[in-house]
Amino acid sequence: MRPVARISISMKRTRGNLESGRIPGRMSALVYRGGGSLKVESIPVPRIGSHEVLVQVRACGVCPTDIKKIRRDLLPPPRVYGHETAGVIVRVGASVRGFHPGDRVALHHHVPCLDCHFCRRRAFAQCAGYRVTGVTAGFEPAGGGFAEYVCVKRGCLPGMVRIPKDISFAEAALLEPVNTVLKAVNLLGVVPGDHVLVVGQGPIGLLFNRLLTLRGASVSACDPLELRRRIGQRFGARRTFPTMEAIGDPVKRMTRGRGLDAVVLAAPSDEAFCQAQKLVRGGGAILVFAHTVRGNATPLDLGRVCVDEQRVLGSYSSDFTLQDEVARLVFSRTLDVRPLITHRYPLTDAAAAIDRAATPSADTLKVVVEPGLRGQ
């Protein structure tokens, strides 16, 4: 693993803020300019207020939701995306307590208010405060992780997690996707001995394999790519299948005709959803995790929902209250995310990183942008 560059621990006070090292006035950032266009530009380093923190980004994972926003032009430009971010605190607002320049931290870009109608019902991703992005490199806040520095706003300070010395920034950047998967696994309510099928063996599907296995489930996995199926086994799948059609008979055998306890759709396949309805037992669950575009309609057998009591569940984004458990899992390497990180790009090539993640080959799992890496 790349040695972590030392940062100066000599600190000084400027305008009441505490800071370390030399912080430039301008920085590089991958700016989204609309029409799917991305360019590395020089923009000002964000200024922070007295309740905010400036973090030098060391790693930021490329997430499918960023790709979706860029490719489909979902939000008005300009923006700097990237929300799976880890780095080093370099400046701390005068009123911030508990964090110091030099701290290595993973960021959480959405923090719910914990007090509204939605939060009291644990629907954190529906909280109005949660939807406000609290980490920015400038412009309309959008995560900002594809830049050299980000400002962490007051609302997101409670989500900042310190990274132990022996854990890399790239690993820590994956706390966010791990959180989203743990939240979904909790929602499924899996108990030891359950038979669960995970459809799609990209990074998210693989995290499901591992977390479900840790809960004592017997995991099967489905992916058309042979290499992905092999990796799926390393992440805990006991059986793998190239298609949903291939699964029917083995499922009958292994569940004595009962059917699967749950199917997780970690790929946005409507076809897989239809098949899942036939594979899940009465009272079992189908978890829809990758269908992130509204208006996506597909046939649902309502008789299976009513008479067979099949549950169709959705889960989106993270659960702030799980962050400590997520940190424990990743930092203890009980959930070792290192094999997921297959591609690293310097910030100068961040647009290529996003292309790579948007059109992955079989061996492309998690793509991470690391501003400290040198360009070729």
Contact track, Zn ion, 285-304, x by CB under 5 A: --------------------
Task: Report 316-345 residues binding Zn ion (CB under 5 A).
Answer: none
CB crowding 215-238: b at 16 or more within 10 Å, else e: bebbbbbbbebeebbebbeebbbe
Minimal distance, residue 117 CB to Zn ion, in Å? 8
Which token pair is 54? 């400036």
* Nearer residue to Zn ion within complex by CB, 233 or 342: 342
∠ CA 288-290-291, nearest 5°, is 75
Contacts with 153 (C-beta within 8 Å, 6 or more apart), sequence order:
51, 52, 134, 135, 136, 141
What are the residues facing 61 on neighbouring strands? 84, 368
Applying CB under 5 A, does 312 fall inside the site for Zn ion?
A: no
Stretch that binds Zn ion, among 7-15, 16-24, 120-128, 238-246 (CB under 5 A): 120-128
Minimal distance, residue 307 CB to Zn ion, in Å? 36
Tell me which DSSP letter residue 157 carries.
Answer: G
Minimal distance, residue 181 CB to Zn ion, in Å? 11
Contact track, Zn ion, 199-238, x by CB under 5 A: ----------------------------------------
Minimal distance, residue 235 CB to Zn ion, in Å? 18
3-state secondary structure 64-96: HHHHHHHHCCCCCCCECCCCEEEEEEEEECCCC
Helix, strand or coil, per DSSP, at residue 295: coil
* Nearer residue to Zn ion within complex by CB, 173 or 276: 173
Contacts with 286 (C-beta within 8 Å, 6 or more apart), sequence order:
262, 263, 265, 273, 276, 277, 280, 310, 311, 312, 313
Q: What are phi and psi of 172, to 5 degrees?
A: -65, -30
Minimal distance, residue 128 CB to Zn ion, in Å? 7
Minimal distance, residue 309 CB to Zn ion, in Å? 31
Minimal distance, residue 278 CB to Zn ion, in Å? 31
* Nearer residue to Zn ion within complex by CB, 74 or 191: 74
Task: Report 59-118 residues binding Zn ion (CB under 5 A).
Answer: 63, 112-113, 116
* Nearer residue to Zn ion within complex by CB, 140 or 271: 140
* Nearer residue to Zn ion within complex by CB, 118 or 242: 118
Stretch that binds Zn ion, among 13-21, 125-133, 301-309, 341-349 (CB under 5 A): 125-133
Task: Report 9-68 residues binding Zn ion (CB under 5 A).
Answer: 63
**Total of chain residues touching Zn ion, rule CB under 5 A:** 6
Which token pair is 334? 């009980």
> How many other C-beta atoms lie within 10 A of the C-beta of residue 266?
28
Minimal distance, residue 318 CB to Zn ion, in Å? 8
* Nearer residue to Zn ion within complex by CB, 181 or 285: 181
* Nearer residue to Zn ion within complex by CB, 116 or 132: 116
Applying CB under 5 A, does 119 fall inside the site for Zn ion?
A: yes
* Nearer residue to Zn ion within complex by CB, 218 or 317: 317
Query: Alpha-carbon distance 99 to 92, whole Å?
Result: 7
What's the number of CA atoms in the CB half-sphere (13 Å) around residue 315?
25
Minimal distance, residue 61 CB to Zn ion, in Å? 7
- In which region does residue 371 sit, left (phi positive, over 0), alpha (psi from -120 to 50) or beta (all else)? alpha
Residue whose token pair is 């649902």: 300
Q: Which of 127, 244, 247, 368 binds Zn ion (CB under 5 A)?
A: 127
* Nearer residue to Zn ion within complex by CB, 30 or 63: 63
Residue of 250, 266, 349 whose CA lies nearest to 39: 349
* Nearer residue to Zn ion within complex by CB, 45 or 174: 174
Minimal distance, residue 204 CB to Zn ion, in Å? 9
DSSP line for 13-26:
EETTEEEES---SE
Residues of the shown chain interacting with Zn ion in the complex, contacts defined by CB under 5 A: 63, 112-113, 116, 119, 127
